[in-house]
């Protein structure tokens, strides 16, 4: 189980941190993937763009290879049981632990005029989304590690207080470690809202991708063989690992070690490999986004699958809590 907020355009971080794993999991596991529209209200209370953003996220999920016939692909707000479970879990989540969450502190700093209770209880809603389907594996990027730990805490607390209902969810990635896709300016991670020029979006056209990559920070190159790489150069190699062929990467690694690297050439190569990777996804997502009837069908079908699992879990939850008077 996993989700992505409809707060803007999806980017390479979303793709390599989350979507790529969704696509690989769909053939092996029973999967629930959602557009986290309720979560987006904590930071984006203006809903003028919401419908368009929900449709964009759905289209980009499908264009990246997710098959709505294999998984439950749905909108969070269509599953009302989520908000009921969120309420019960809120009674077990403490103000102190929520205030300590890194994402809460970041967001409170970013929007000091709107430090709403939803922002504080964001990890509780996320835990509800996950354990509602008794999910055990949660494909997410590295930035979500702390939230997953909290989801485990809430699941265990519920089990301890009311009896064993929920398994422990774990963050999941097909590689050995969770992924963090760095931003092109070497400062922080690619993100939907910050650093738009340092983030590559799945919707960027070829020219824009080239422009962004060519602006990535470099220097005049190492002067001694086998010099350790500065962070911003490690980032460029890291991005290459995501989209370029192994022999291409090897060549630039050798050039670096032998002090003959030309960063201009390296960035040109990276830009072309990114264009090759993103163009088919962008084209397919555009086609899907223009097919409103298909998207409606996807959402209905997804909600039906997710509701079945949600209803079954909530019957158990109410029973366990003792909300069964007749």
Of residues 130, 28, 16, 30, the one with CA closest to residue 72: 30
Which part of the chain contacts ligand AMP (CB under 6 A), choosing from 76-84, 185-193, 208-216, 259-267? 185-193
DSSP structural state of residue 18: I
**3-class DSSP assignment, residue 243:** helix
In the region spanning residues 214 to 243, those forming contacts with ligand AMP, defined by CB under 6 A, are none
Least distance to ligand AMP from the beta carbon of 14, Å?
4
- Please tell me the count of residues contacting ligand AMP according to CB under 6 A: 18
Which is the catalytic residue, given 48, 51, 95, 107? 107
Least distance to ligand AMP from the beta carbon of 144, Å?
4
- Residue 15: C-alpha distances to residues 21, 180, 268 (Å): 8, 11, 22
Nearer to ligand AMP, 18 or 278 (CB): 18
**Is residue 14 a contact point for ligand AMP (CB under 6 A)?**
yes
Nearer to ligand AMP, 42 or 317 (CB): 42
Which is the catalytic residue, given 51, 189, 212, 305? 189
**Cα 255 to the chain's mean position, in Å?**
34
Least distance to ligand AMP from the beta carbon of 138, Å?
8
Least distance to ligand AMP from the beta carbon of 192, Å?
5
**Is residue 317 a contact point for ligand AMP (CB under 6 A)?**
no
**Is residue 13 a contact point for ligand AMP (CB under 6 A)?**
yes
Identify the sign of the CA torsion 293, 298, 299, 301: positive
* Dist. CA 78–CA 24, nearest whole Å: 25
**Is residue 17 a contact point for ligand AMP (CB under 6 A)?**
yes
**Is residue 190 a contact point for ligand AMP (CB under 6 A)?**
yes
Identify whether 105 is a catalytic site residue: no
Binding residue for ligand AMP, selected from 44, 56, 152, 189, defined by CB under 6 A: 189
**Is residue 180 a contact point for ligand AMP (CB under 6 A)?**
yes
Least distance to ligand AMP from the beta carbon of 11, Å?
7
**Is residue 18 a contact point for ligand AMP (CB under 6 A)?**
yes
Sequence-distant (≥ 6) Cβ neighbours of residue 259 within 8 angstroms: 221, 222, 223, 224, 225, 227
Least distance to ligand AMP from the beta carbon of 10, Å?
7
Please name the helix (run of DSSP H) or strand (run of DSSP E) that holds residue 308, with its range, or none: helix 292-321
Q: Is 222 within 8 Å of 233 (Cβ atoms)?
A: no
Nearer to ligand AMP, 152 or 189 (CB): 189
Please name the helix (run of DSSP H) or strand (run of DSSP E) that holds residue 170, with its range, or none: strand 170-172
Identify whether 100 is a catalytic site residue: no
Identify whether 180 is a catalytic site residue: no
Q: What's the angle, vertex CA 14, arms to CA 8 and CA 18, rounded to 5? A: 135
In the region spanning residues 107 to 146, those forming contacts with ligand AMP, defined by CB under 6 A, are 140-141, 143-144
Identify the sign of the CA torsion 48, 52, 54, 56: negative
Least distance to ligand AMP from the beta carbon of 257, Å?
27
Q: What's the angle, vertex CA 62, arms to CA 59 and CA 68, rounded to 5? A: 115
**Is residue 5 a contact point for ligand AMP (CB under 6 A)?**
yes
**Is residue 192 a contact point for ligand AMP (CB under 6 A)?**
yes
Q: Is 79 within 8 Å of 303 (Cβ atoms)?
A: yes
Q: Is 145 within 8 Å of 171 (Cβ atoms)?
A: yes
Provide the binding-site residues for ligand AMP, judged by CB under 6 A. Answer: 2, 4-5, 13-14, 17-18, 140-141, 143-144, 179-181, 189-192
Residues designated as active site:
107, 189, 192
């Amino acid at each position: 189980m996993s989700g992505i907020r409809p707060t803007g355009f999806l980017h390479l971080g979303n793709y390599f941190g989350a979507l790529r794993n969704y696509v690989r999991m769909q053939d092996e596991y029973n999967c629930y993937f959602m557009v986290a529209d309720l979560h987006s209200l904590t930071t984006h209370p203006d809903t003028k763009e919401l419908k368009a953003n929900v449709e964009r996220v759905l289209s980009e999920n499908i264009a990246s290879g997710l098959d709505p016939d294999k998984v439950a692909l749905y909108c969070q707000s269509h599953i009302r049981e989520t908000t009921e479970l969120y309420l019960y879990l809120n009674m077990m989540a403490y103000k102190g632990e929520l205030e300590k969450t890194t994402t809460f502190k970041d967001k409170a700093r970013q929007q000091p005029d709107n430090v709403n209770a939803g922002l504080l209880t964001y990890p509780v809603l996320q835990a509800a989304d996950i354990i509602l389907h008794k999910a055990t594996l949660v494909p997410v990027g590295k930035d979500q590690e702390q939230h997953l730990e909290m989801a485990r805490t809430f699941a265990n607390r519920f089990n301890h207080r009311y009896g064993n209902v929920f398994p422990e969810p774990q963050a999941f990635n097909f590689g050995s470690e969770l992924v963090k896709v760095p931003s092109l300016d070497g400062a922080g991670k690619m993100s939907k809202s910050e650093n738009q020029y340092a983030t590559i979006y799945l919707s960027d056209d070829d020219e824009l991708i080239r422009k962004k990559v060519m602006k990535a920070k470099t220097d005049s190159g190492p002067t001694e063989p086998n010099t350790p790489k500065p962070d911003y150069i490690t980032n460029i190699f890291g991005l290459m690992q995501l989209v370029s062929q192994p022999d291409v990467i090897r060549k630039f690694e050798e050039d670096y070690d032998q002090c003959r690297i030309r960063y201009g050439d390296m960035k040109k190569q990276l830009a072309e490999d990114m264009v090759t990777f993103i163009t088919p996804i962008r084209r397919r997502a555009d086609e899907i986004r223009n097919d409103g009837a298909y998207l409606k069908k996807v959402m209905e079908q997804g909600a039906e699958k997710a509701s079945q699992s949600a209803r079954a879990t909530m019957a158990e939850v109410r029973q366990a809590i003792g909300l069964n008077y007749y």
